[in-house]
Structure 1
């Protein structure tokens, strides 16, 4: 099955007629939901039913990492920031990794119950204590701990039928700037990145990571382009050297860190040419329309990778004990 390269969003809690028409375009392959699209579980179920009626193959995503990045709250378990797992790891590594696995399962299980395919997780950035936009979203400041916790979290997601997306390749935690608002520049050498930031990505790729989202960060000693527009980072480093064969999602092309690539259609073109399989255009309906119009003018491409991100069935009625235990683990980590 081939799925279109554009992931976009919705304005509210119900699917409008115009949005329904847009989602039926073959160039659209994904939909990302935000807090504005959610009020309660019944509304979410209704929204997802209306989406699946017209596009059963659509990849539906959300950022449900935990902590300050959790789009659905009412009726969902409050998940701790992943940094709390890192603190737990310092006291009891085995217990922390078990907790990470159960939280990954819990997060994914609650979303899969509504036929949401993916949460863009886990965050694989190292917390260098100087990037506020990453901060406590990161599992740890030390690569070994980060690898253990994020691998366990990914395993839990897989057990719940959800593919995992590691972000933000090759590491966003060093720079102080927020790529939503400006273009961060990381001046470290490739050797510096290899010694720390790249280690979690390498390890999780070898453990079955399904997808990766590159950072809107320029690593100036290596390439003049942000990673998401860089042939070096996506083709040479990620595909060839790391042997990654999964899906590459761009980060949101409306972020300021992507503005270096030009207009919205040009950002799309450059991201796809660099090696992204799917581009995200969020919180800017006009930009999404421009990108959709651009994609309609392009030759139809065959990219079967994206369909691998569709969620697998989950029988929650067989998992009530695990749900209760995982929710207690989550509560204990606050």
Structure 2
């Protein structure tokens, strides 16, 4: 079997248990996603990430750390990053009266977005974290469709930069530059767009009934414009029935025909969390984690996430690992060397800066001043 480690799993606590170490050492496991429960303070986080790398140096240590309400580490010196909507609002602010200058808000917002990316990535990397699932490329439809259900876009809400895909693409590119300056890759989410639906895919299966033409013109447009700089993409657990009956993360049409061939994306594709309700129902049937992983991988995902299942005895994590191994032996899933190359490409290529050195670094201090 070609070496391929597609599973991104979590760990239960603030240090590794024997069960955690056993799972992380499995050749099908390629990374870890951390949560707030894995955090006490910076020294503890450094010890945890170092312990993970001791198990396997190539494990990708990930976190959802966007800013605003989605930021796992908030104390012991971590900067409270703004929600991305704050950058979109800055884009629209050209000043008033004698201070008004057309387009000045957009230029300030671009600089602030790069600063946000740099602060985000440099602080995480100083604590041993390799990768954050950011930026959100979803559109904020709050003001774009006033006739729509008032609950629309609340799942994404202020996590989105703006309602205009051109602004989203520009600010995302600027934020990605900041990530890159600190040596971190990026992840655009949630392809082709989660902002137009009211339902939360954590608890139900959202359905977006728009046409492919409408989605490509609006929500998916940033993915094409950013195809040369996107390192990875996470599809939405949303069904777009006028395109495919399956959620985007389980759809060959969305992932291979549209994202890869039509939009030209060549980076890694992550599934969203397989424990979410939107991932558990495929073709109307409730499926297990291993079957969901096989469906995502065969549809075109390179990596699949299973979150918050290591608590207690972690039976679901073991079932996923064992089930995927059985699926490979049965020929229901084939490992991919190309997928493994895409996973490894997400690992940082530079050494991180130590926290105390970072705190007095001029670029970092200037970036803090630029945040909205």
- Give the TM interval when normalised to the shorter protein: over 0.9
- Report what 1:320 is aligned to: 361
Counterparts of 1:178-217 in structure 2, within 5 Å, are 178-206=200-228, 208-217=229-238
- Report what 1:66 is aligned to: 67
Per-residue deviation at 1:36? 0.2
Residues in 1 aligned to 2:325 and 2:347: alpha-carbon distance in whole angstroms: 24
Residues in 1 aligned to 2:348 and 2:131: alpha-carbon distance in whole angstroms: 7
Deviations 1:13-44 (A, max 9, x none): 01111111110010100100000000110100
Per-residue deviation at 1:2? 4.9
> Is 1:153 paired with 2:175?
yes
Residues in 1 aligned to 2:366 and 2:4: alpha-carbon distance in whole angstroms: 37
Q: List 4+ stretches of structure 1 deviating above 4 A.
A: none
> Is 1:290 paired with 2:323?
no
* Unpaired segments ≥5 residues, structure 1: none
Residues in 1 aligned to 2:36 and 2:18: alpha-carbon distance in whole angstroms: 21
Per-residue deviation at 1:144? 1.4
* Unpaired segments ≥5 residues, structure 2: 94-104, 143-151
Residues in 1 aligned to 2:256 and 2:291: alpha-carbon distance in whole angstroms: 19
> Is 1:174 paired with 2:211?
no
TM-score for the superposition, normalised by structure 2:
0.86
Is the contact made by 1:239 and 1:245 (CA closer than 8 Å) also made in structure 2? yes
Is the contact made by 2:14 and 2:48 (CA closer than 8 Å) also made in structure 1? yes
3-state SS of the aligned residue for 1:139?
Answer: coil
Residues in 2 aligned to 1:128 and 1:220: alpha-carbon distance in whole angstroms: 20
Deviations 1:309-330 (A, max 9, x none): 1013234647711211222333
3-state SS of the aligned residue for 1:251?
Answer: strand
Residues in 2 aligned to 1:237 and 1:278: alpha-carbon distance in whole angstroms: 18
Q: Greater CA deviation, 8-17 or 297-306?
A: 297-306
Per-residue deviation at 1:260? 1.1
Residue correspondences, number: 330
> Is 1:250 paired with 2:287?
no
Per-residue deviation at 1:3? 4.6
- When Rg is computed on C-alpha atoms for both structures, the one with the higher figure is 2
Per-residue deviation at 1:105? 1.0
Per-residue deviation at 1:175? 0.2
- Report what 2:163 is aligned to: 141
> Once superposed, what is the RMSD of the aligned Cα atoms?
1.4
- Report what 2:100 is aligned to: none
